[in-house]
């Protein structure tokens, strides 16, 4: 299968499980990252087999493939729990994009939630509820330290109490929404306030939902996860490069400035890597633009797979990438990037007729106490030029 070859080429080798028993064993053993299923075939199976498969899937993403593009079939697949529905015949790019979306969703389950509540006991209780559900929580009990906390470690979502000394929750939300860097962060009020008029007034200032205390733990977790998922989806669409799904140049530079400021405040190291796919013009001339774009997407996937969720990944265009690695020493960053380089250079690429291989060159720069964003980018860029002049397919440390 062409799609299977494509997955293998990008470091995601597929496995075909011929019988239902084999599939159930693999699912229950946690050996399946995502399941591609022929929906037309699955619907023809006995009801008890479909039920057994649904029970075994659990949190494993299911992507259905079908020749039926009608609403009835799509509804049936959605009710079964499918996270993706792809119409056959299918291009490898659409298949990889669908799987990547599912697998990225799994990797992002541990989002960071900032809880702002002057009651330490209430904040601690809600933090424990979220942590037990696999999320991360940070607590601020002094409302006047909210901006400091946001800049120190930007959260994926904020739980905000309303009535607090020094500054009310709705006043804080008004201030937070004035900062462009925090506009995208969902804010959920969590308060004893039950007056719908007062709730609407607070929501009008920039809140996304109003939850009343006390709230059952399962409802809190559900609300948080729903808003996290929606916010991430929208953020990817607004800030991501259309070819790779990584941050575009401008958004990467903005985030790099925030991370650099945090590194200066905390005294922790930050390393920036600029990398270019080698011989880009030759690849396009010999294998075509479509093949070159597949190479670019493949490298983007390799970077996602190897790097941490806290690292920043950007595509600067034409096969040029940027990686910011907070809380990482120069030696650690060098080791990781060389590992990515070695794996990428060993992968087979294809233009549909010929198989070929690619490599990349990279320059690495470590932030200094006095470094600003532009000087760090220039330092990494100079190291990248040295890597190319030195023969390519290497990572060079900036001086």
* Number of residues in the chain: 399
Cα→Cα distances 188→146, 192, 225, 298, Å: 15, 13, 12, 37
Q: Tell me what pLDDT residue 277 has.
A: 97
Cis peptide preceding 174, ω within 30 of 0:
no
Q: For the chain, what is the HEC assignment? A: CHHHHHHHHCCCCCCCCCCHHHHHHHHHCCCCCCEEEEHHHHHCCCHHHHHHHHHHHCCCCEEEEECCCCHHHHHHHHHHCCCEEEECCCCHHHHHHHHHHHHHHHHCCCCEEEEECCCHHHHHHHHHHHHHCCCEEEEECCHHHHHHHHHHCCCCEEEECCCCCCCCHHHHHHHHCCCHHHCCCCEEEEECCCCHHHHHHHHCCCCCEEEECCCCHHHHHHHHHHHHHHHHHHHHHHHECCCCCCECHHHHHHHHHHHHHHHHHHCCCEEEEEEEECCHHHHHHHHCHHHHHHHHHHHHHHHHHHCCCCCEEEEEECCEEEEEEECCCHHHHHHHHHHHHHHHHHCCEECCCCEECCCEEEEEEECCCCCCHHHHHHHHHHHHHHHHHCCCCCEEECC
Q: Tell me what pLDDT residue 124 has.
A: 95
Sign of CA dihedral 331, 335, 338, 340: negative
Cis peptide preceding 372, ω within 30 of 0:
no
Token reading at 261: 């400021």
The band of 102, judged by pLDDT with boundaries at 50, 70 and 90, is low
Nearest to 114 by CA among 74, 157, 63: 157
Task: Let me know if 19 is exposed, middle or buried by CB neighbors in 10 A (0-12, 13-18, 19+).
Answer: exposed
Question: What distance in Å separates the CA atoms of residue 304 and residue 112, rounded to the nearest whole number?
Answer: 19
Across 107-112, average pLDDT? 62
Token reading at 373: 């964003």
Let me know: does 113 contact 227? Beta carbons within 8 Å: no
Q: Tell me what pLDDT residue 2 has.
A: 38
Token reading at 353: 């007729």
Across 343-351, average pLDDT? 93
The full set of domains in the chain, from first to last, is: 2-107 (3.40.50.2300), 112-238 (3.40.50.2300), 249-397 (3.30.70.270)
Residue 363 pLDDT > 70? yes
Span 229-275, pLDDT tens digits: 888 777 766 666 778 888 888 889 888 988 888 888 888 899 999 99
Residue 4 pLDDT > 80? no
Residue 91 pLDDT > 80? no
In this prediction the pTM is 0.57
Span 200-237, pLDDT tens digits: 988 888 899 999 999 999 999 999 998 988 887 777 66
Q: Tell me what pLDDT residue 24 has.
A: 83
Q: Tell me what pLDDT residue 108 has.
A: 47
């Amino acid at each position: 299968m062409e799609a299977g070859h494509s997955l293998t080429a990008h470091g995601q080798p597929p496995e075909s499980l011929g019988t239902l028993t084999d599939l159930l064993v693999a699912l229950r053993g946690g050996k399946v990252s995502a399941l591609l299923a022929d929906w037309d075939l699955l619907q023809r199976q006995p009801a008890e087999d479909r039920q057994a498969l649904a029970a075994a899937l659990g949190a494993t993403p299911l992507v259905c493939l079908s020749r039926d593009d009608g609403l009835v079939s799509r509804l049936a697949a959605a009710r079964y729990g499918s996270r993706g529905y792809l119409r056959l015949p299918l291009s490898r790019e659409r298949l990889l994009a669908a799987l990547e979306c599912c697998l990225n969703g799994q990797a992002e389950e541990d989002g960071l939630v900032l809880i702002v509540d002057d009651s330490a006991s209430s904040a601690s209780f809600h933090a424990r509820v979220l942590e037990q559900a696999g999320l991360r929580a940070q607590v601020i009990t002094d409302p006047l330290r909210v901006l400091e906390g946001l800049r120190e470690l930007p959260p994926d979502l904020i739980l905000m109490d309303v009535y607090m000394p020094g500054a009310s929750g709705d006043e804080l939300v008004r201030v937070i929404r004035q900062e462009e860097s925090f506009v995208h962060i969902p804010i959920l009020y969590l308060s004893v306030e039950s007056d719908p008029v007062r709730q609407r007034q607070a929501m009008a200032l920039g809140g996304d939902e109003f939850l009343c205390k006390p709230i059952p733990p399962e409802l809190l977790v559900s609300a948080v996860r729903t808003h996290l998922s929606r916010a991430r989806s929208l953020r990817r669409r607004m800030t991501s490069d259309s070819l790779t799904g990584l941050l575009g140049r401008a958004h990467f530079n903005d985030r790099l400035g925030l991370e650099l400021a945090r590194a200066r405040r905390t005294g922790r190291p930050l390393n920036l890597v600029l990398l270019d796919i080698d011989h880009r013009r030759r690849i396009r001339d010999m294998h075509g633009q479509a093949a070159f774009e597949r190479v670019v997407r493949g490298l983007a996937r390799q970077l996602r797979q190897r790097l941490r969720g806290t690292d920043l990944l950007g595509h600067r265009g034409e096969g040029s990438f940027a990686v910011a690695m907070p809380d990482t020493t120069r030696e650690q960053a060098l080791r990781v990037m060389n590992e990515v380089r070695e794996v990428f250079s060993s992968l087979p690429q294809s233009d549909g007729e010929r198989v070929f291989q690619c490599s990349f060159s990279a320059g690495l720069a470590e932030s200094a106490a006095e470094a600003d964003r532009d000087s760090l980018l220039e330092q990494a860029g100079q190291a990248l030029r040295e890597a190319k002049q030195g023969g390519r397919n290497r990572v060079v440390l900036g001086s």
